[in-house]
Structure 1
Amino acid sequence: MEKLQMNRCDTCDQEAKIFIGYGPHRFCKEHFNHFFEKRIRKTIRMNQLIKHGEKIAVGVSGGKDSMVTLHLLNKIYGGKKPQIQLEAILIDEGIKGYRDKSMQVGIDYCEKNNIPYHTVSFQSEFGIEMTEVMEKIHADPKLGSTCSFCGVFRRHFLNSKSLGIKADKIATGHNLDDEVQSIAMSFFGNDLTRVARLGEISGNKKFDGFVKRIKPLYETPEKEIIAYCALNGIEHYSDECCPYSWMAKRNHYRKMLNELEESVPGTKYSLLASFKNLKPLLVQNEQEKNEPIKECAKCGNLSNGKICNVCSQLERITNVSKIIQKESKTLKKKSSLTCVDTKNM
């Protein structure tokens, strides 16, 4: 009898479809959906992420996180009398056989649900694709990882395109796992400035050149997003991870935190709570530095330094003259962790 009860939903007598360790909770599909969506609504409401009448640009890759973000914002605020304007931004980094497939998932959803969307590519704007960046990194490993370049470029395009469509905010698919990984990486790297910039909403409030970024999935675990997609048939691209993800330092932090969460359920929420308690002090410390925002000496965009991150990274790539012409798949180190390895732990 006890074993039978263990397989039942906490809220009703239906068979449980998902078990959540940190509760612990057991839910059927209906009550898991309620639990999942209620938390996201609460995140938006308690942090005042969205106001009625705003135009929200959603960064869409076609992966589970961005598709759930787009789907739920459309579900919550859409309908016959939409409360906000939603527009999607899709960025093509130039990773053939991967990004073109994932982008199509996002485009299909937008067209099916009458959501305006905009596409932009690294090639059209910078004249370079991530495949070429990877080749240059192979020629000069001191450049670092592809993620350090891709992240800078993607943030630039999300911001510039959002400015172009006069969006009030940019919604991204960053989830609980992403956030606590970033917190751990920044603390271990002794980068308190970066820690202070983390949170459910980011972006400089004082300057028109930056669009604030919001994270509706900020308090939602990755595994629950996967379950929500599966239970509700939300189309997303999951055939493979980025072919360059093996280079990311983040993989090691993902593995560490997943192992801790498995042993001590609730670890990720505890780390997030600690960060929330510390953040006011970190923000105050950054404000006391009173470092002015400048214009980049090269492109004129706002920057914390003399040259913005985008121009700095482009300059580093340009300085690499030797390019080893190899297929990108031959560059993968078999011993390195990938997001597939760590997400399946």
Structure 2
Amino acid sequence: MAIILGIESSCDETSASICIDGEIQSNIIANQTVHEKFGGVVPELASRAHQQNIIPTVSEAIRVAKIQKNDIEAIAFTRGPGLLGSLLVGTSFAKAFALARNIPLIEVNHMQGHILAHFIEDPKPKFPFLCLTVSGGHTQIVLVKDYFEMELVGQTIDDAAGEAFDKTAKILGLPYPGGPLIDKLAKDGTPRFDFPEPQIKDFDFSFSGLKTSILYFVQKNTTLNPNFLKENMNDICASVQDRIISILLKKLKLAAHQLQITDVAIAGGVSANSGLRHALTALAEKEHWKVFIPKFEYCTDNAAMIAVAGYYKFLNQEFVSQEITPLARWSVNY
């Protein structure tokens, strides 16, 4: 029996999970509300909150899984990418726990963890499949050939889709985190405002120009009508969301056609967006794809995906030494 403790602390969620023989038994997430008044994550405050949360979060994960800490056979942790201070807390805890228990350490790349979240529950994709990973810091199309054999076939050349959502929310005066609010407001709106689509070659993305066009659009219309945002908020949110989704799915469709892949998945925080989930499902029906979308709790940052990734590495005896250090920027050689 393989009992793995997973630790995720890459940004502003402290999470711990217990995985037994590939099955998740607990997935505890401690959110941080301290960042709301600042309109974004403050790295120093995030790392301090991780220090406060990590021990009770791990203890709760062990309790819910109905095991004892002495039962744990290995500890998997997010080494990167992410905020250095936040990663340092999780890495330090993992190293100390492993040293005290004399058990192996397993490093996990955060983005690979998001992709492997698809192996937490059935139905699970078959290799090879395409995964669109979309978050606040990354937007990628990855060809997944095996659990840890992956090829990056497309990525953003500037900003991520999640950042486009959050920066748009800030422009519109919405509170942090703004991405989920745009999704909520868009449900009651009509995408009647036209925003430009970037012309980027191959399977790559760009969102910086879109953000600039949204800013100029808001500045121009609020100058003409000070009540413009209040009167049109739902439609603006629907229009922005519609354009971001169309950009994402156009490239995903292009990649699927050229690579001749019919199993398609999404992962990362933005994969929790209801508009994206519905649009991908509709596209999959037209294209005759098998589509895989994680449960909401496995879309945002969570330790279950780290524990599952750790389980597959455990089977291959892929361990690291106590000399390991976190990496704020870590591009896996897909």
TM-score (norm. length: structure 2): 0.27
Structure with more of its chain in strand, by fraction: 2
With the length of structure 1 as denominator, give the TM-score of the two structures.
0.26
